[in-house]
Amino acid sequence: MASTKRIPMIAGNWKMHLTSREAADLAAAIKKGLDPDLKHEVLLAPGFTCLHAVKAALAGSKVFLSSQDVAWEEKGAFTGAVSPSQLIDAGCTAAIIGHSERRKIFLETDEIINKKLKAAIKAGLVPVLCIGETLEERESQKTYRVLETQLVGAFAGISAAEAAKTVIAYEPVWAIGTGKTATPDQAQDAHVFVRKQMERIYGKDYAEAVRILYGGSVKADNVDELMSQPDIDGALVGGESLKADKFLRVIHFQPVLSR
């Protein structure tokens, strides 16, 4: 049964796109187009250098600011890294952690992701933890095993209370940036599995409350169907979040069935 208590979240991951000016303009256009009565949460994750400009552009709105990554240390000799407190200083309330591009291109392991999750939680940032299988893993029937390993690894040594604010994003790697969206049924199946794993780790109450976003080629024209699935609590959107009109349509999704 779908829980109506989970507030939907639509997050835009702008990846390594846009200058500060472009990012501020896009944020301003999104802010302007938001239904003032919107009940669900909207989160924007621009690149580090755009955080200040986007924060300023979002002033007076309820849109949350997120980073796309976070360091696991608070300060010190970590050239190129950005700490949780630096992100909070720049106006972030959330941090995307363990995105598949970080895992694949920057070789982040579950152990690194676990450290980042702990650091974000300690600092009071809302972690948006990404998990997902590759095409090869799906085709060799390893999807569930991969998701379980990623979840167990990410949450190792973290209590249910500490993990309370964490949002999980299920993003099948084969659907990211490819235009190949998981079908609503495929996504729903994976979300049910993820929720079951979270129940196993932290118990039923936690599993019922945790928000699980779907990510991977979410578009204005497929969001309604995806958001009609009872265990899909939101979307993490890449490409489509770079176009204000399209992303606004995603934000204002209209479930085709009652959740």
Q: Contact positions toward ligand PGA, by CB under 6 A?
A: 13, 171, 176-177, 215-218, 236-240
Structural contact between residues 10 and 240, judged by C-beta atoms closer than 8 angstroms:
no
Nearer of residues 45 and 119 to ligand PGA, judged by Cβ:
45
Min dist. Cβ of residue 246 to ligand PGA (A): 11
3-state SS, residue 10: strand
Q: Which of 41, 99, 133, 240 is catalytic?
A: 99
Q: Which residue is nearest to ligand PGA (CB)?
A: 238
Nearer of residues 76 and 179 to ligand PGA, judged by Cβ:
179
Q: Which of 41, 108, 133, 171 is catalytic?
A: 171
Nearer of residues 6 and 219 to ligand PGA, judged by Cβ:
219
Alpha-carbon distance values, 158 to 85, 125, 174, 217 (Å): 20, 15, 29, 31
Min dist. Cβ of residue 219 to ligand PGA (A): 8
Q: Sign of the C-alpha dihedral, residues 65, 166, 237, 61?
A: negative
Token pair 């169907």 is at which residue? Answer: 225
Angle 43-59-84 from CA coordinates, rounded to 5°: 55
Nearer of residues 63 and 182 to ligand PGA, judged by Cβ:
182
Which residues is 215 bridged to in the sheet? 236
In the residue annotation, 133 being an active-site residue is answered as no
In the residue annotation, 99 being an active-site residue is answered as yes
**Catalytic annotation, residues:** 99, 171
